[in-house]
Structure 1
Amino acid sequence: MPVLDIFSESVKYKYKTNVCSVGTLLVFFATIITLSVPIIIIHLTGGFWIKNDVYTEIPKIMFKQKYLLLAESREGIEPITCSTFNTYKENRISDSCTVTKVQELDVNRDGLNDVLKFELRFFTEFPVQNIRLLLFFNYELKGKSKLSMETMAALHYTIPSNVQKILILGDLKLKQKHLLQNDVINNVYDHSTDINNQSLFQLLSDAVNRKFGVKIENDGMTWESGFSAEEETVVQLELFYQEEVVHSRPGVWEELKWAWIQYFAFFFSFAYIAKQVTGWIFVNRYVRSYVISPWEEK
């Protein structure tokens, strides 16, 4: 009848030596190297901690029904002004627009706005040569990073002569100069903007110097030629709210989660190598030690 090997067990030998011996010193240095080398390697290759976390999120954006349009025609003539603000630098603003249309659409029906359609109509005696448009939004991120702010997007275009209708397209994108903190609510800019105490330059400067804001990218302008003072000049704008690539600074727990994974990935490899090397040294009697077999212990 054939015989099968159904179970096996390794014989475990113990190697003992004095505290002050070469064998003890060897094991001590092997342990120090096993624990410290992974730290050194990780430090030299970028460190344990994740300094910049990148993720995508669809922001919650709402147009605040606040805007300022300055349309200039000829030098020496007051610009056409359309605005929801009543005063500017303590001077009353007269809204010259005859029609204002605002529409925000949720195209994919996910509960978040996707497109802003904005239209202004006004009469002017001379063709518009350039326009400046300021739009104000509420902007929120609710994923890993919490961000809530009122922010301004600005447009400035020089217009060809004899234009009756101006069409503008673009993407509203997040502008970051600093990393968002994952463990705090970033609401330092969550306050209403009042243009009565600021010049146009100050408004633009504040928007540029902010740590977080919005900007209009991939913008383009087209127009319909032919001007008539008897017909309304039209400014149409379509802004698309896009998915954002958000840069943030990870929280403590997230950093620790990746730190121990990096450390143990190297530690187990060096622990295995150290065990094999020290075992080979003791088995081949390169250092003096006392060998105790399992049956001698009994």
Structure 2
Amino acid sequence: MAFYEVYSHPALIRYRSSVCTKATLFAVVALCLTYIPPLLVAYRSQFWLKTSTYEEQPVVRFQYEAILIATTSAQGEYVAWSTFPHFNHLVGARLRIPALSQVREEDDNQDGKLDRLLLEMQLPLRVEEQLYSLQLLLTFSYQLFRMSTVAMQSLACVHYSSAVPGAQLFISGDLRLQQRAPLPHRGLYNIYNVSVIDSSSPFASAYEFDDIIRKYQQRNTTLLSTAMPVWKPGRAPTAPFMLRAEIHYSTETIYRPGFWETIKFAWIQYVSVLLVFLWVFQRIQTFVFEKQLLTTVPGEPAHHHKLH
């Protein structure tokens, strides 16, 4: 007649010893070697989560502020225009007011957040003038809400130069967040929610591109990345120079995690290594005490019974 196992349960055996014995010392050492090395291993393999990512499309609005400087000769002659009255006054006779045929922001997927800016302007030039390079600063309002609340004023800089005089420049790129330090995981972050260009200043130094960009680069910024310029020569003597820009508002993906997210990540790293050490040292101790390699007093097996 064949027999089959219908039920099983473990038997607990307790091994006892006094405090000052080799068995006690071994148990303490085994305990330390079980729990401390996993902590060191996990710590050496990025234990603390310093940065994390999530996807969020920012709320971006064009501020309808711009500064344009265009070089019209190899000797450095230029024409300029801006939306700032003080700058236009400083430019004097070099002021050229462009015709803005299109300034439009679009929400392509109808999710309530704008996806891109379409800008088209025609810069009038004299018959004897040719355009060789162009620099354009555009200002934006930039906001994030999902983790921390971020509100700041930002820039997009369009720049292109050529040895061949041009008739048209088309440029398409993404407005991307560039972080000097990861964003906090919560709270209000509005330290840079101030105008990037001091439009109230009557001094020329407030509108110098190198000064504006130098100060701007010392903080969290936006920049026009993956810009693809298309420069077309062959302008007719009486035709204006055409500038077309398409700026996409891209999704961003980085911030500094909070305390509980950091602990959750660290705990997973630690436990995953600890399980291996628990399995190894449990078998080592079972072998040592069961074979009485260190003298202890084993008790009677204690059986686990089901409670009714």
TM-score grouping bracket, smaller chain normalisation: 0.7 to 0.9
Q: Would you say 1:273 and 2:280 are equivalent positions?
A: yes
Contact persistence 2:82–2:88 (CA under 8 A): no
Q: Residue 202 of structure 1: SS of its match in structure 2?
A: helix
Cα 1:83–1:290 change in 2 (3 A) is same
Cα 1:220–1:260 change in 2 (3 A) is closer
Report how far residue 90 of structure 1 moved: 7.4
Query: Residue 218 of structure 1 corresponds to which residue in structure 2?
Result: 226
1:213-251: CA deviation from partner (whole Å, max 9, x where unpaired):
1111222322443333433322111112222332x2221
Q: Residue 104 of structure 2: SS of its match in structure 1?
A: strand
Q: Would you say 1:204 and 2:213 are equivalent positions?
A: yes
Report how far residue 135 of structure 1 moved: 0.5
Which of 277, 283, 294 is the matching residue for 1:287? 294
Cα 1:280–1:61 change in 2 (3 A) is same
Query: Residue 53 of structure 1 corresponds to which residue in structure 2?
Result: 52
Query: Residue 128 of structure 1 corresponds to which residue in structure 2?
Result: 131
Contact persistence 1:49–1:258 (CA under 8 A): yes
In 1, the alpha carbon distance for the partners of 2:100 and 2:3 equals 98
In 2, the alpha carbon distance for the partners of 1:20 and 1:122 equals 92
Report how far residue 294 of structure 1 moved: 4.1
Q: Aligned partner of 2:249: which letter?
A: Y
Number of residue pairs the alignment of both structures matches? 292
Contact persistence 1:80–1:96 (CA under 8 A): no
Q: Would you say 1:230 and 2:238 are equivalent positions?
A: yes
Report how far residue 55 of structure 1 moved: 3.2
In 2, the alpha carbon distance for the partners of 1:162 and 1:294 equals 95
Query: Residue 181 of structure 1 corresponds to which residue in structure 2?
Result: 184
Query: Residue 34 of structure 1 corresponds to which residue in structure 2?
Result: 34
Query: Residue 108 of structure 1 corresponds to which residue in structure 2?
Result: 109
Contact persistence 1:127–1:161 (CA under 8 A): no
Query: Residue 6 of structure 1 corresponds to which residue in structure 2?
Result: 6
Q: Aligned partner of 2:133: which letter?
A: N
Cα 1:106–1:155 change in 2 (3 A) is same
In 2, the alpha carbon distance for the partners of 1:260 and 1:227 equals 65
In 2, the alpha carbon distance for the partners of 1:81 and 1:118 equals 17
Report how far residue 9 of structure 1 moved: 2.6
Q: Aligned partner of 2:50: which letter?
A: K
In 2, the alpha carbon distance for the partners of 1:16 and 1:77 equals 92
Query: Residue 72 of structure 2 corresponds to which residue in structure 1?
Result: 73
Contact persistence 2:138–2:156 (CA under 8 A): yes
In 2, the alpha carbon distance for the partners of 1:55 and 1:133 equals 32
Contact persistence 2:96–2:123 (CA under 8 A): no
Q: Residue 287 of structure 1: SS of its match in structure 2?
A: coil
In 2, the alpha carbon distance for the partners of 1:18 and 1:179 equals 55
Cα 1:14–1:220 change in 2 (3 A) is closer
Cα 1:5–1:241 change in 2 (3 A) is same
Query: Residue 247 of structure 2 corresponds to which residue in structure 1?
Result: 239
Cα 1:261–1:50 change in 2 (3 A) is same
Which of 143, 146, 149 is the matching residue for 1:143? 146
| TM-score normalised according to structure 2 size | 0.84
In 1, the alpha carbon distance for the partners of 2:279 and 2:232 equals 75
- 5 Å matches for 1:79-118? 79-88=78-87, 91=90, 96-118=97-119
Which of 248, 253, 259 is the matching residue for 2:260? 253
Cα 1:95–1:73 change in 2 (3 A) is closer
Report how far residue 183 of structure 1 moved: 3.1
> How big is the alpha-carbon RMSD for the aligned residues of Structure 1 and Structure 2?
2.5
Structure 2 residue runs without a partner (length 5+): 303-308
129-138 or 161-170, larger mean C-alpha shift: 161-170
214-223 or 117-126, larger mean C-alpha shift: 214-223
Contact persistence 2:96–2:124 (CA under 8 A): no
Q: Would you say 1:164 and 2:167 are equivalent positions?
A: yes
Query: Residue 306 of structure 2 corresponds to which residue in structure 1?
Result: none
| TM-score normalised according to structure 1 size | 0.87
In 2, the alpha carbon distance for the partners of 1:37 and 1:4 equals 43
In 2, the alpha carbon distance for the partners of 1:77 and 1:8 equals 93
Q: Aligned partner of 2:41: which letter?
A: I
Query: Residue 16 of structure 2 corresponds to which residue in structure 1?
Result: 16
Structure 1 residue runs without a partner (length 5+): none
Higher strand share: 1
